[in-house]
Chain A
Amino acid sequence: GAGVSQSPSNKVTEKGKDVELRCDPISGHTALYWYRQSLGQGLEFLIYFQGNSAPDKSGLPSDRFSAERTGGSVSTLTIQRTQQEDSAVYLCASSLALQGAGGNTIYFGEGSWLTVV
Chain B
Amino acid sequence: AQSVAQPEDQVNVAEGNPLTVKCTYSVSGNPYLFWYVQYPNRGLQFLLKYITGDNLVKGSYGFEAEFNKSQTSFHLKKPSALVSDSALYFCAVRDAQTGANNLFFGTGTRLTVIP
- Interfacial residues, chain A to chain B (CB-CB below 8 A): 4, 6, 31, 33, 35, 41-43, 45, 48, 50, 56, 59, 91, 93, 98-99, 102-103, 105-111, 113
Partner of B43, one of A33, A56, A59, A109: A109
Most buried by A among B32, B34, B96: B32
Known: A91-B43, A110-B43. A43 touches B105 (CB 8 A): yes
- Tell me how many residues of B have a C-beta within 8 Å of chain A: 25
In the complex the two chains form, is A50's CB within 8 Å of B45's CB? no
Is B32 in contact with A48, judged by CB distance below 8 angstroms? no
- Decide if A42 touches B101 in the complex (CB within 8 Å): no
Interchain CA distance A11-B44 in the complex, whole Å: 19
A59 and B102 in contact (CB under 8 A), knowing A42-B90, A102-B32, A102-B94?
yes
In the assembly, what is the distance between CA of A45 and CA of B96, in Å?
Answer: 18
Chain B residue, CB-CB nearest to A56 = B101
Separation of A45 and B3 alpha carbons in the complex (Å)? 13
Check A110 against B42 for contact (C-beta < 8 Å).
Answer: yes
Q: Name B's A-contacting residues (CB within 8 A).
A: 32, 34, 36, 41-46, 49, 51-52, 90, 92, 94, 96, 99, 101-108
Q: Apart from A91-B44, A106-B34, A108-B45, list 16 A-B contacts with CB within 8 A.
A: A35-B105, A41-B107, A42-B106, A43-B92, A45-B103, A45-B104, A48-B102, A50-B101, A56-B101, A56-B102, A93-B44, A102-B32, A102-B96, A105-B34, A110-B43, A111-B43
Chain B min CB distance to A83 (Å): 23
- Whether the pair B51, A103 counts as a contact (CB closer than 8 A) is yes
Contact of A106 among B41, B51, B99, B103 (CB under 8 A): B103
In the bound complex, residues from chain B placing their C-beta under 8 Å from that of A103 are 32, 49, 51-52, 94, 96
Q: Which residue of chain A has its CB nearest to the CB of B51?
A: A103
